[in-house]
Amino acid sequence: MSNKMWGGRFATGPDAIMEEINASIGFDYRFATQDIRGSLAHVAMLAEAGIVSEDHAKAITKGLEQVRGEIEAGSFTFSRALEDIHMNIESRLADLIGPDAGRLHTARSRNDQVALDFRLWIRDTVDELDQQMLALQQALAERASDHAGSVMPGFTHLQSAQPVTFGHHMLAYVEMLSRDRGRLSDARKRMNECPLGAAALAGTSFPINREATAKALGFDRPTANSLDSVSDRDFVLEVLAAASICATHLSRLAEEIVLWCTPQFGFVQLSDKFTTGSSIMPQKRNPDAAELVRGKSGRVIGALIGLLVVMKGLPLTYSKDMQEDKEGTFDALQSLSLCLAAMTGMIRDLEPDLKRMKTAAGSGYATATDLADWLVRELKMPFRQAHHVTGSLVKLASNKKVGLEKLTLAEMQSVESQITQQVFDVLGVEKSVKSRKSYGGTAPANVRQQARRWLTKLAKETRGA
C-alpha cells in the first residue's frame, strides 16, 4: 500500500529496506515542538490571507494543540511507515479533524518545513548552550576570585616556564568561553531568517505573507531566495563549527585536570562525585568525568566534518542526502551540553593543593625570565645579553643542583660582576607573579580586578536572561 500522504503517483508501498533507509522519525521526532509551532504560525497566516477559511483554521489549530498535548504527555504513537515527524503530525491531525487537515500543507513543502523546524531547533539549542557556557564562566570566575594570588607553574611545551596564579589560569578559560558564546551569538543572528514559504524550491503562487510568519516565529525576516532557503545547511555547519571550538576548549581544560589529578602533578583533587575507582586496583581514583569530556570532543568535531562531507557535492536544491544532517547534529550538541554540565560540576568540585602548586612553580628555574628582566632593568643590559647571562647562571645552578635563589652573590658575580644583592628580590615565585602587572598579566591585583569584572558582567547577564 502506498503512503497515504504522497501516494497518488505510487501504486505500491516501499520495500522493507527502502522503508528502513528512508524513515527519519527515529531521530527527527525531536522536531515535534518546532514543527507544531511552525504549523500554527502557517495556518494563522493562511487564514489571515484568505487562503483557508477561519473555520478550517480554527479546526486545524485546535487539532494541532491536541497533538502537541499528546506528544508532551507521551501518548502519541510515532509510525515509521509515515517516515518523518511532519507526516506523523499531519496524519494524526487527519485522524482528529478529517480531510480538512490536508489544507494545512497549502503553500508549503516538507522542504521548507524541515528547514524551518531545524532552524527553530538549532536556535532553541543555541540559547540553552549559551546559558550553560555562562554558568561555566561563573564557576571559573569564582575560582579565579578565590585564588587570585595562589601561585602555580605556567607551562610552555608542558615544561615549567614562568610562575602564574591559579586564578589567572581559570580566567584564561573564561575568555575562551566568552569567544565561544560570541561565535554562537553570531551564528544565531545569521540563521534568524524564516524559510517558511519557500515551498519545495520555487516559492508558491498563493498570496502568502512570509513577513507575518517570520514575525510570529521570532525571526528577523524571511529568507530572500527560495532555492537557498531549502537547500543550504550552513546555519547548522556554523553552529557545529562553534560547538567544535568550544568542545576543543573544554577538552584542553579536561586534559589539564587529568594531568593535575595525577600523583606526579598533584595540583588538584576531585571528589567521589566526579571520579571512579578500579575493579582491580583499590588505590585508584580516576578522573573519568574529565576524560569523557576530552573524549566527547571527537564526537562534536566529527559531526562537523560529517556534515561538511554530506553537503560538499550536492547541487541545488534539496536532496535526500540532507536527511543525514540531523543525527550527528543532535548527538554533537547533546554531547556538548553534557560536557558543559560536567565541566561546571568539576570546576566547582575540585580542590587545589596550594602548597604543591607553589613548590612546583619554583622548580625548573621558572624565575629565570625575572632574572633576565632585572639585568635589563637595573644594569641597562640589552635583553639578548641578559638572556645569555641568565642562561649561564641557570647552567651554573643546574650543575650545583640548586635553584637560582640558592646561588650565592659571589657565584652570580662570577658570571656577571655587576650583579648586586638586590637581584634576590626578584627570584621568589610570589615576587615574580606580583611583578607581572601589565594589562592581562598574572599579577594577583590584575586577576582580582578581572575576576570582579567578569562576575559583575555575568551576574547582569544572568538577571537579564
Tens digit of each residue's pLDDT (9 = 90 or more) over 15-40: 778 767 877 888 889 999 999 999 99
Above 60 in pLDDT, residue 358? yes
Per-residue confidence (pLDDT) for residue 346, from 0 to 100? 97
| Per-residue pLDDT at 279 exceeds 60 | yes
Q: What confidence tier does 3 reach under pLDDT thresholds 50, 70, 90? A: low
User: In sequence order, what are the residues at sequence separation of 6 or more whose Cβ sits closer than 8 angstroms to the Cβ of residue 265?
Assistant: 259, 356, 360
Show the cell assigned to 416: 656577571
**Residues tagged active-site:** 157, 278
161/202: higher pLDDT: 202
CA neighbor of 23 nearest in space, from 63, 75, 65, 80: 80
The pLDDT tens digits for 70-107 are 999 999 999 988 889 999 999 999 999 999 999 999 99
Which grid cell sits at 375? 639585568
pLDDT score for 283: 77
User: What pLDDT score was predicted for residue 296?
Assistant: 97
Burial-class residue 210 by CB neighbours within 10 Å (0-12, 13-18, 19+).
buried
Half-sphere exposure in the Cβ direction for 314 (13 Å, CA): 22
pLDDT at 4 over 80: no
According to the model, what pLDDT value does residue 75 have?
96
Q: What is the pLDDT of residue 1?
A: 36
The answer, yes or no, to whether the previous bond of 12 is cis (omega within 30 of 0) is no
Higher pLDDT, 173 or 82: 173
Determine the pLDDT at residue 27.
84
Helix (H) or strand (E) holding 304: helix 288-311
In this model, does residue 9 exceed pLDDT 70?
A: no
Provide the percentage of residues in the chain whose pLDDT is more than 90. 85
- Distance set, CA 95 to CA 57, 80, 102, 368 (Å): 16, 17, 11, 79
Q: Is the pLDDT of residue 118 over 90?
A: yes
Is the pLDDT confidence value at 178 over 50? yes
CA pair distance 306, 321, nearest whole angstrom: 12
| Whole-number pLDDT of residue 285 | 85
* pLDDT exceeds cutoff 90 at 14: no
> Alpha-carbon distance 448 to 437, whole Å?
12
- Determine the 3-state secondary structure of 266 from DSSP: coil
Question: DSSP per residue over 138-195, as a string?
Answer: HHHHHHHHHTTT-EEEEEETTEEEEEEEHHHHHHHHHHHHHHHHHHHHHHHHHH-EE-
The SS3 assignment for 165 reads: strand
**pLDDT over 70 (residue 5):** no
Whole-number average pLDDT of the chain? 93
Higher-confidence residue of 278 and 436: namely: 436
pLDDT digits (tens, 9 = 90+) for 406-450: 999 999 999 999 999 999 988 889 999 999 999 999 999 999 999
Contact criterion met (CB below 8 Å) for 48 and 38: no
pLDDT value at position 28? 85
261-265, 283-287, 337-341: lowest mean pLDDT where? 283-287
- % pLDDT > 70, the chain: 96
The answer to whether residues 408 and 414 touch, using CB atoms and an 8 Å cutoff, is no
pLDDT computed for residue 2 by the predictor: 46
pLDDT at 463 over 50: yes
Span 223-243, average pLDDT:
97
